[in-house]
Structure formats: structure tokens, C-alpha cells
């Protein structure tokens, strides 16, 4: 049976057309794509026997995406070493990139979740994208997954040349800047909690010379620190009022350190050099 015949017998033709616009081909088992776009937050309102979500498909899609991206990078960069390829793959498959792909392809509009999760959980779109690829794999096989990436994503939504130039480790860049300039940078975990049935959430703060430069919210401590560092770097680049405050704190700290060092190196006064009169000095031993 051809793809179009599958479409003709499909009961949910509107959904099948939406999927075709995203994938470039018709689905055969529409119900598996429904499951891929179903977030677990919906289970809160369902009886036990009806509970269903996309977490298993997410697990499968994650492995398929890594394999496809690894293969594409291996052939696209024939002279690059393992470290470069690993870094490139990490940038493409990281949660923020998958969130963006879900949004730009229109997949995010098909995701089903509660309102609170849509508002607060930054992982929903990326997780759904992984589950969606898992659904394609089960429905049409690995070749169609590869075709989806090659024909619908590469070039249009994933620019390998641009990705190769990106350096998105904001925390590392901030620490490197602090080491060069001798400015004090501190990261602090402000809050860690769980909202409803969501995953744990983290909020981190970064201070430069004691001045709060940024906060970051994420679903891992690392993500929250990266976002806080990103905000801090923005203040540094723009030389904002916060940056000027940090400069003043830095200069005051340096002046205090210089003053303390000068006191330690100053010559001793006469009063300091004169021996205490109350201290008994032993006479010279008698020479026999």
C-alpha cells in the first residue's frame, strides 16, 4: 500500500496532513505519533488504565538522533578528529537545539500538555521532538528518520558551518574572563524545587565582585548556571551599570590589598626596634 493510500484510509486526515508538512511524507500508524506528542502531565487527569505518555518513545528517539547526527557529521567533516565531532554533535542534540527544532518545524503546536507545563518546563518541546523521531523510526524505519533529517532539517534548520563556529559554554567563558582579569566570580544555587509532577527545577545566581550579575532557571543545575553566566557576559560586553559597580568593587578591593601590602613592607619605627626595658638581659658568661 502506498503512502497516499494509507492517508486515504486514515481516520484522522487533518492530523496526517500536519505530520506530512513536518516530515515530508505521510505517516502509516497515526496513533504512534499521537503518543509521541503526549506529555506525562496529562496523566494527572486520567484513570490508571488510560495513562500514556511519550517517555519511552523519547528514549528511543534520543538514540536514533545521536546515530543520524553522528553519521552526518562523520561524512560532512572527513578530516576532523573525534573531539570536534563529539562537540558538534553535543551542540546539535542539546535540549535547547531540539526545543528550537520543535518550534521551527511547527511540531511544538501539536504537543499536548497541561498549561503549567507548557509555561514552565523548557524540556517539553525537545523531549517531544525526540519522541517524534522515535515514532518515525517505529512507523517507517531508520531510512525515513535519516530522510527527515537530511531533507527537512539540514541546511534549513541546522547550519553545520554556523554550529561549528558557536561557543555556547557561557560558564567556561565567564570563568576564563575572571582568570584573566582577576575579578572574583561566584556561582550560587538559589533554589531547587519540584512543581507539581514536573522534574526538579533549579535557579542559580552568579556574582562578580559580590555584585549580582545574573540568574538562570533550568531543569538541571548546569543549565541554570549556563543561563546565569550568559546574562553576566551580556552585562560585561555592554559595560552596564552592574558592570560599573563591579569595577568599583574590584578597584576598592585592589586598593585595600595594596594598602595592606604597603603596611607589611614599611620599615620598622624606633619604638618597634627598642627592646623592652622590662626584659632582663643575661650578662655575658664569665670567661675563665
Catalytic residues: 62, 130
Is the distance from CB of 216 to CB of 229 less than 8 angstroms?
A: yes
Q: Which residues in 4-74 belong to E strands, given as ranges?
A: none
Is the distance from CB of 74 to CB of 4 less than 8 angstroms?
A: no
Q: Smallest Cα–Cα separation from 39: which of 58, 61, 20, 25?
A: 58
- Residue linked to cell 576564563: 176
In 3-state terms, what secondary structure has residue 227? helix
Is the distance from CB of 146 to CB of 68 less than 8 angstroms?
A: yes
Three-point CA angle 201, 202, 208, nearest 5°: 160
Q: CA–CA separation, 272 vs 144, rounded Å?
A: 87
What grid cell was written down for 143? 531510512
Determine the longest span between alpha carbons in the chain, in angstroms. Answer: 126
Burial environment of residue 259 by CB neighbours within 10 A (0 to 12, 13 to 18, 19 or more): exposed
Q: CA–CA separation, 127 vs 164, rounded Å?
A: 24
Q: Identify any residues that bridge with 187 across adjacent strands, giving them in sequence order.
A: 206
Angstrom CA distances, 111 to 72, 103, 123, 136, stand at 27, 10, 12, 16
Amino acid at each position: 500500500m502506498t503512502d497516499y493510500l494509507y492517508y486515504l484510509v486514515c481516520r484522522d486526515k487533518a492530523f496526517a496532513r500536519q505530520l506530512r508538512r513536518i516530515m515530508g511524507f505521510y505517516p502509516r500508524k497515526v496513533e504512534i505519533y499521537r503518543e509521541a506528542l503526549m506529555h506525562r502531565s496529562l496523566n494527572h487527569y486520567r484513570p490508571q488504565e488510560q495513562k500514556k505518555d511519550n517517555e519511552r518513545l523519547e528514549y528511543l528517539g534520543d538514540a536514533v538522533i545521536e546515530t543520524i547526527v553522528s553519521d552526518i557529521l562523520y561524512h560532512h567533516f572527513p578530516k576532523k578528529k573525534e573531539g570536534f565531532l563529539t562537540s558538534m554533535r553535543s551542540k546539535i542534540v542539546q535540549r535547547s537545539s531540539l526545543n528550537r527544532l520543535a518550534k521551527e518545524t511547527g511540531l511544538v503546536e501539536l504537543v499536548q500538555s497541561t498549561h503549567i507545563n507548557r509555561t514552565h518546563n523548557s524540556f517539553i518541546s525537545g523531549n517531544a521532538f525526540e519522541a517524534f523521531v522515535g515514532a518515525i523510526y517505529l512507523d517507517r524505519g531508520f531510512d525515513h528518520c535519516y530522510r527527515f533529517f537530511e531533507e527537512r532539517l539540514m541546511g534549513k534548520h541546522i547550519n553545520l558551518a554556523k554550529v561549528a563556529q558557536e561557543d555556547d559554554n557561557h560558564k567556561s567563558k565567564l570563568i576564563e574572563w575572571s582568570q584573566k582579569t582577576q575579578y572574583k566570580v561566584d556561582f550560587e544555587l538559589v533554589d531547587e524545587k519540584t512543581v507539581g509532577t514536573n522534574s526538579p527545577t533549579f535557579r542559580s545566581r552568579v556574582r562578580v565582585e559580590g555584585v549580582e550579575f545574573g540568574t538562570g532557571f533550568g531543569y538541571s543545575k548546569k543549565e541554570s548556571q549556563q543561563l546565569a553566566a550568559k546574562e553576566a557576559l551580556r552585562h560585561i560586553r555592554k559595560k552596564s551599570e552592574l558592570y560599573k559597580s563591579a569595577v568599583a568593587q574590584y578597584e576598592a578591593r585592589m586598593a585595600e590589598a595594596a594598602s595592606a601590602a604597603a603596611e607589611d613592607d614599611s620599615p620598622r619605627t624606633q619604638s618597634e626596634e627598642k627592646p623592652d626595658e622590662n626584659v632582663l638581659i643575661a650578662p655575658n658568661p664569665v670567661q675563665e
